[in-house]
Amino acid sequence: MVPLFDPKPQHERVAGEVEAASRAVMESGQFILGPNVQAFEKEVADYHGVNDSIGVASGTDALHLALLAAGVMPGDEVITSPFSFIAGVEAIYYCGAVPVFADIREDTMNMDESSLEGLVTERTRAIMPVHIFGLSCDMHQVMSVARHHGLKVIEDCAQAFGARIDGQPVGSFGDAGCFSFFPTKNLGGYGDGGQVTTNDAELAARIRMLRNHGSEQRYYHDVIGFNSRLDELQAAALRIKLRHLDEFNAARRYIAGRYLEGLSGLDLKLPVEGEGYHHVYGQFTIQVKDRDAFRAALNERGIASAIYYPIPLHRQKVTEGRFRGVRLPVCDAVSETCVSLPMFPGMSDAQADEVIAAVRAVV
Ligand SMILES: *Cc1c(COP(=O)(O)O)cnc(C)c1O
């Protein structure tokens, strides 16, 4: 069986270093907001060429705290993609705000940047672009709409650590970039974790307070905050994995290249990577016609696959009713044809070729 994702090759690459670093943390006795979190925050900021970054407990919390710190308030509208994981929409609702969904583009599966202008109202406070599957949205277009209307931009970079446009990494375009270290992500930890990148010193200070019970100085609480800290063990491991991240992303891009070549000329849609874009393939997602039959046939040949995402966010039970009149035809269509193939650093050429042969046999 070729699995969808396998964390073991990555672990084997860093196991010795991670074990030594974890032991050092355990022996230090300092587990919360210690030297590893501090160093990792600087390293993540440097990686992105931004002034600061803040470690938090998850990607979901990164989005929530970034929206709060950016001033998103009850009644505000946040424009985002309906074709994503639920976390961004949860974060919007945590703030008492409401999502406004832009339809997506069929080729990139990102929200259609050219539709944003038409969705702005006087209640719009922010845009939350999601760099889906590891491909950046057109951030120049997003930023131009945002600047024109004075909106904040909170990038959901959970699937795209290391993705770039003309060399500039996602998470460095908007007011804040939000990352997840869930184990399957491009920079995966050994548990949950998240991070916010920003050039805005005030925003960074607010997120630092919010993640730590609303306090800057211990036992002086200025606002109602949260317990949402990245822990030292995760930070110690992530510091090591960050040094290997470009290598891991190159491995994903190598597999993607093999797929793109091996699957060309078939009756299916392959992922695109526009001029100047650097895709990091958090997922390798194609679009096929008879998806259920396609997946069953792959499964018979020992190839795992997954559907991200079968139910768009405007059709989820949790949002039902609120979006009944909303028409998002491209998103609805893509949610019925999308299917993700195995993708992980350390996947062998033989495994990739097995996937290619199976897809060619069944499509
Ligand atoms: C994984 C993910 C998140 C949430 O990250 P967690 O660390 O699991 O909370 C948010 N947005 C997207 C697009 C994701 O894929």
Token pair, residue 113, equals 């940047």
Is 58's C-beta closer than 6 angstroms to any atom of ligand 1? yes
Strands (E), the chain: 52-56, 77-80, 98-101, 124-128, 152-156, 164-165, 168-169, 176-180, 194-198, 215-217, 220-221, 277-278, 284-287, 338-341
Give me the pLDDT at residue 75, please: 97
- Domains of the chain, CATH where assigned: 8-243 (3.40.640.10), 245-362 (3.90.1150.10)
3-state secondary structure of 70: coil
**pLDDT tens string for the chain (363 positions)?**
999 999 999 999 999 999 999 999 999 999 999 999 999 999 999 999 999 999 999 999 999 999 999 999 999 999 999 999 999 999 999 999 999 999 999 999 999 999 999 999 999 999 999 999 999 999 999 999 999 999 999 999 999 999 999 999 999 999 999 999 999 999 999 999 999 999 999 999 999 999 999 998 888 898 999 999 999 999 999 999 999 999 999 999 999 999 999 999 999 999 999 999 999 999 999 999 999 999 999 999 999 999 999 999 999 999 878 998 899 999 999 999 999 999 999 999 999 999 999 999 999
- Tell me the angle at which helices 232-243 and 35-48 cross, rounded to the nearest 10 degrees: 40
Is 156's C-beta closer than 6 angstroms to any atom of ligand 1? yes
Is 228's C-beta closer than 6 angstroms to any atom of ligand 1? no
Q: How far is the CA of 319 from the centre of ligand 1 (A)?
A: 18
Question: Ligand 1: which residue has its CA nearest to atom 1?
Answer: 158
How many angstroms separate the CA atoms of 275 and 279, rounded? Answer: 11
Give me the pLDDT at residue 216, please: 87
How many angstroms separate the CA atoms of 344 and 363, rounded? Answer: 23
Give me the pLDDT at residue 171, please: 98
**Closest approach atom of ligand 1 to CA 130:** 13
Q: How far is the CA of 363 from the centre of ligand 1 (A)?
A: 31
Closest CA to 47 of 255, 256, 244: 244
Closest CA to 244 of 136, 346, 323: 346
Q: Angle at the Cα of 97 (from 134 to 210), degrees rounded to 5?
A: 75
Is 158's C-beta closer than 6 angstroms to any atom of ligand 1? yes
**Candidate from 85, 111, 133, 308 with most ligand 1 atoms within 8 A of CB, to mutate:** 85
Q: How far is the CA of 80 from the centre of ligand 1 (A)?
A: 14
Is 180's C-beta closer than 6 angstroms to any atom of ligand 1? yes
Give me the pLDDT at residue 321, please: 81
Question: Ligand 1: which residue has its CA nearest to atom 10?
Answer: 87
Q: How far is the CA of 300 from the centre of ligand 1 (A)?
A: 30
* Cis check: omega of the bond before 259, within 30 degrees of 0: no
Is 182's C-beta closer than 6 angstroms to any atom of ligand 1? yes
Closest CA to 327 of 307, 308, 312: 312
Q: Give the global pTM.
A: 0.98
Give me the pLDDT at residue 102, please: 98
